[in-house]
Amino acid sequence: MNDLKMESNTESYCVMDDSDDDDWYYASISRFEQLQMFNFETPANHLDFSENDRICCTSKIRDRKQEIQEFILPEKVPASAFESHDLKLKTGGFSLNPVHQMKCLKGRRRLVLSEKDTVGASIYQLGYENSDLISKIDTVKCSVEKPQLSVYENKLALGSSADSIHLADLETCLASKCSVTDNSQEEIFGLSFVNINSLAYCKHHSGQVTLLDLRSGIANTHALFKETCSVADNSVLKVWCSFAVHSELNFFGLASSQGDIKVYDFRCVRNSPIFETKMDVEEPHFKGNFLQIVFSPHDMFSVSSSRGTVEVFSLKTEKMRCIFSYDGHNHHKLKNNILISNHVWSPVERNLIYSSAIDGSFHCWKFIEI
């Protein structure tokens, strides 16, 4: 009798439609130290930190126009009971062309954009006390169209192929072409400074990783994989779609559209990878192109999957494996196929990741290791 009474009581409390979600949220209490979920009007595609506690996002608004917004991230105000849960918009602006890449000059109130249908790169100023507008102040002139970007202190590297790598000084905005030993015109991606004197990049189809010494111009290319353009059983082209570098540990990582994940050490590339795994890629296979590998500032890396999750891996020698899987963007049973467009690790706090998805959601989550 008492049991029946209990049941009827519970039923009438299901006032909200999304009470189906309750279980996920209750479970999240022990899975996350911190969890915030936001909804942007238009999905954010590029993310980068302009300060340790501020993030810049770009999103497409209308036609070709893009909106750039700088937010202060949620934080606890010290010595008081007030915790900030919200994103505070601090500065904002517009770019006229679709953004190909965005890199912030952390701490210097500037960012660099590489835009579609433009050559070179644009420098934007983030707002100051007298204005909260983000506006273009300068151009880095060079003939590379839609270049890849990488920033290291005062230097900017730009290039879209091995033979078009340029270096620019961010104070003067003057760029000069690097003379390099590799003159291939194949498209490159993942251009990154490994340290002040070396750049690394990868080629889409072959998966060839090149370490370029900027002083001598010598490009050391490692053909890591025997297959170049591999065609899988159902005739889907395999491309290497993500490349990232962990400068402190001297590691680099690759992800392919078929789900191959490989991490190597620059100093001993000829050996087998330090870590490798294969992730399932869901149909349709183009979803594999959403696989993005990102290194944490410490000893972890993460990969966004074709199922809209972020898989976190540990690089500690004693436990190289997946230590967490974030399903926040897709946890509701009515939502699926929400792919992650970008994700970044907090530069200061361990285990804290910010991820944006194609449905406009933007989540801040600090996971507790399994």
Partner 1 sequence: MPDIKVTPLGAGQDVGRSCILLSIGGKNIMLDCGMHMGYNDERRFPDFTYIVPEGPVTSYLDCVIISHFHLDHCGALPFLTEMVGYNGPIYMTHPTKAIAPILLEDMRKLMVERKGESNFFTSQMIKDCMKKVIAVTLHQTVMVDDELEIKAYYAGHVLGAAMFRVRVGSQSVVYTGDYNMTPDRHLGAAWIDKCRPDLLISESTYATTIRDSKRCRERDFLKKVHECVDRGGKVLIPVFALGRAQELCILLETYWERMNLKVPIYFAVGLTEKATNYYKMFITWTNQKIRKTFVQRNMFDFKHIKPFDKSYIENPGAMVVIMPGFCVVGTVGHKILNGAKKVELENRQIVEVKMSVEYMSFSAHADAKGIMQLIQYCEPRNVMLVHGEAAKMQFLKEKIKQEFGVECYNPANGETCVITTMPDIPVDVSLSLLKEEAAIHDRLPPDPKRQRLIHGVLVMKENSMCLMDVDRACSEAGVNRHQIRFTSTITLDDPGPPSRTAEKLQQLIAGRLKDWSVQLTEGSSISVESVLIKVETTEDDQKNVLVSWTNQDEELGSYILELLQNMGR
Binding site for partner 1 (CB under 8 A): 6, 9-10, 12-13, 15-19, 21-23, 25-26, 28-29, 35-41, 61-62, 65, 67, 69, 71, 74, 79-83, 85-94, 127, 129-134
Report the residue number, 9 or 235, with the smaller CB distance to partner 1: 9
Ordered DSSP codes for 199-249:
EEEEETTT--EEEEETTT--EEEE---S-SS-B-TT--B--EEEEEEETTT
Q: Tell me how far, at minimum, the Cβ of 333 lies from partner 1, in Å.
A: 15
Q: Tell me how far, at minimum, the Cβ of 353 lies from partner 1, in Å.
A: 15
Report the residue number, 102 or 170, with the smaller CB distance to partner 1: 102
Report the candidate in 246, 255, 167 with the shortest Cα–Cα distance to residue 204. Answer: 255
Q: Tell me how far, at minimum, the Cβ of 34 lies from partner 1, in Å.
A: 8
**AA letter at 245:** V
CB of 55 closer than 8 Å to CB of 47? yes
- Centroid of chain to Cα 133: 25
CB of 54 closer than 8 Å to CB of 344? no
Report the candidate in 348, 211, 324 with the shortest Cα–Cα distance to residue 269. Answer: 211
Report the candidate in 11, 24, 16 with the shortest Cα–Cα distance to residue 328. Answer: 24
Cis, bond preceding 284 (omega within 30 deg of 0):
yes
Q: Tell me how far, at minimum, the Cβ of 19 lies from partner 1, in Å.
A: 7
Report the residue number, 65 or 116, with the smaller CB distance to partner 1: 65
Report the residue number, 83 or 248, with the smaller CB distance to partner 1: 83
Report the residue number, 133 or 249, with the smaller CB distance to partner 1: 133
Q: Tell me how far, at minimum, the Cβ of 73 lies from partner 1, in Å.
A: 11
